[in-house]
Amino acid sequence: MARICLHGYVSGLVQGVGYRQHTEQRAEHLALDGWVYNLADGRVEVLLEGEEAAVQELAAWLKKGPKQAMVDAVELHEQPLQGIAGFIVR
């Protein structure tokens, strides 16, 4: 299966609720590469890279997030592969 890369932003109540840590755990479980980062404006920025089905699975989960989160919107766009190894919380 093909590898893809998605980059984007998650808005809503997504900071201070474990969103980045849960994203990292799910990404590692799905063997994805990339990162997740809190922005100063309250959004979370993500970059997901890996097998298309796994990336799409995590992209779908981002719309819900952990139990404490209240996601308003997820905006993801495909971009060229970045060649990142591993997944980190930035």
Which percentage of the chain shows pLDDT scores above 70? Answer: 100
Strands (E), 1-90: 3-13, 33-38, 44-51, 70-79, 87-89
Mean pLDDT of 50-66: 97
The total number of structural domains in the chain stands at 1
| Domain membership of residue 24 as a residue range | 3-89
Instruction: List the CATH number of the domain containing 15.
Output: 3.30.70.100
How many angstroms separate the CA atoms of 21 and 17, rounded? 9
Residues 14-52 pLDDT 10s: 999 999 999 999 999 999 999 999 999 999 999 999 999
Catalytic residue among 3, 38, 43, 90: 38
In the annotation, is 90 catalytic? no
In the annotation, is 38 catalytic? yes
* Res. 1 pLDDT band, cuts 50 70 90: confident
Catalytic residue among 20, 26, 43, 90: 20
